[in-house]
Amino acid sequence: MVPLYSPSNGTGSTAWGQSFTTDSGGNVTSIKTTAIGGSTGTQLANGIAGSSMRIREWVNDVETGTPGFTDHAVSGDILETSTSTELIDYEYSAIFPTVEFLFSGTTVLSAAQPYVMEFLPGSGVWAYVKIYFSGGDYTGGRAYDINGNNLSFTRDYPFQVLTY
């Protein structure tokens, strides 16, 4: 999966997501990312604590359409919503700390199957992408910025999917 880089650009979208293709099957236990951020201190900690993530079935790569309808990339059936969110590798002044979204471990991801993670940022924080140049992008999926302003460059949300 994608290394946990520091993101480099905020988005202006109404829905955020990242597709990924599993290397091997397993029960998903957590997803780690540096994509939730944008402020520091208590506001950041509270916003992250109020954030969650959904794992959805992959349906398409479309980045336009009204959220809530079945015409864009984060509209697939919800397989599971994270049970809690933890700050890890956190420094009080960090803008993009590593965050771990925990799952129940009951959702089985199949090998070589695409899925979509949907970010649901809490109050005071935003989803941030990593801009990639010439060959540095994650080839197993892509970032979605539904109706946002970042549709013109290659980008990914840094993440790691942990399964057992």
In a domain, 115, yes or no: yes
CATH number of the domain encompassing residue 75: 2.60.120
Range of the domain at 89: 9-163
Within a domain: 125: yes
Task: Judge whether 31 lies within some domain.
Answer: yes
Tokens 């880089």 -> residue: 5
Tell me the C-alpha distance between 26 and 6, whole Å: 27
pLDDT in tens, the chain (164 residues): 445 777 877 667 878 999 999 888 899 999 999 999 888 888 899 999 999 999 999 999 888 766 556 678 998 999 999 999 998 888 777 888 999 999 999 999 999 999 999 999 999 898 988 877 656 678 888 888 888 766 667 788 889 999 99
Predicted TM-score of the model (pTM)? 0.89
